[in-house]
Structure 1
Amino acid sequence: MTLLKPIIRGGLVALVCFSAPAIAGLLTDLEPDWKEGEHTLPAPPRETGLREFFVSSASPNHFYIDEDSIMVGDDGVVRYTLVIRSAGGATNVTHEGIRCASGTWRLYATGRAGGQWSAVRDEEWKPIVGNAYNRPRAALSEDHICDGPVPPRDRNEVLRRLRGEASTFMKSGK
């Protein structure tokens, strides 16, 4: 048994290190016929279209979603532009998508000065986990976009949730 302890411990470390990509692959395999739809990158975010949302009291950053960019695709992907502002004034702009059915997210493009987009080469869907890097996606997914594995009915539903309004579904008593 003493000889097995390092092997078991090493196996657990390997499982933890490699589980996130494996989980994303397994989740994607649950719907083998799923195809991601085409979409175009939105206009750069406007200051008046930014809606702040809570991510964590531990972060000094401010997190915003560009309301104008929110789109619920026929493929079940909710696409949006995320703006993160650090306490020091740096701004990070990304265009991303969340797929509720698989609990995954994808980065499409990063924003550059002058309002231009720079497409990313990585087309992998990654699992949404609550770690520091992924916390904005987890907050969006859990609090504003997904009902478990179900995406919102439409863009207006996401906007209502971000604004803290009750959904029309809940108001109608259905």
Structure 2
Amino acid sequence: MLKKIYAATALLLASSLLPPVYAQTVDDEAEKEWKELALQLPATPETINMVSFYDSGSQSFAIDSKSITITSDGIIRYSLIAVSSNGAKNVSYEAIRCATYEKKLYAFGRPDGSWSRSRRNQWDNISALSANKQHSTLFNDYFCEGNSIAGKASVIVDRIKRHQIIKPY
């Protein structure tokens, strides 16, 4: 009986000298926490680079094919051009994050070609409602496959130009 107590005590002492595996795993995951890269605004969209991808009836939407970038933090950034049926035009610089089904608005285009940064600096869930369907269309049809980015920027641009959606309905 005394031998069993000594063996158990020795085992406890030996195990206490080993590095705590759980604590190390938690620290590794904290280091891997996602961080968004710094923003660099693109050049002003030019009509020749605009590629249409969605029409809601009251607005048509296009992407500036030269502005699409995929960053190492897993974000697709792009310039979005919305034109109303009355001819009013809005330009914005935005992003979609496939891993979380979210979008972010960075800036609005001004008539002089400059950008006005958005005061809202947070990610929002993408809505599939008709009023904001342009983002879910980009996510589901052209940008993302599940939670992953569906190819390089050139592949995505080509897919939009050909209106070749990822998941045909």
TM range, normalised to the smaller chain? 0.7 to 0.9
**Is 2:163 the partner of 1:162?**
no
> Counterpart in 2 of 1:139?
137
Shift of 1:45: 0.3
Shift of 1:46: 0.1
> Counterpart in 2 of 1:63?
61
1: CA distance, partners of 2:158 / 2:71: 17
- TM-score normalised by structure 1 residue count: 0.72
Shift of 1:132: 3.0
2: CA distance, partners of 1:165 / 1:53: 7
Pairing partner for 1:95 from 93, 111, 119: 93
Pairing partner for 2:148 from 140, 150, 160: 150
Number of aligned positions between the proteins: 134
Code of the aligned partner of 1:153: G
> Counterpart in 1 of 2:19?
none
Aligned CA distance change for structure 1 residues 163 and 120 (closer, same or farther; 3 Å) = same
Code of the aligned partner of 2:114: Q
> Counterpart in 1 of 2:33?
33
* Identical-residue share of aligned pairs (%): 35
The structure that has the greater radius of gyration is 2
Q: Deviations over 1:53-80 (max 9, x none)?
A: 1244xx2211110001000110110000
> Counterpart in 2 of 1:125?
123
Higher RCO (C-alpha under 8 Å, 6+ residues apart): 1
Shift of 1:165: 7.5
> Counterpart in 1 of 2:22?
none
Pairing partner for 1:107 from 79, 99, 105: 105
- TM-score normalised by structure 2 residue count: 0.74
> Counterpart in 2 of 1:54?
54
2: CA distance, partners of 1:165 / 1:91: 22
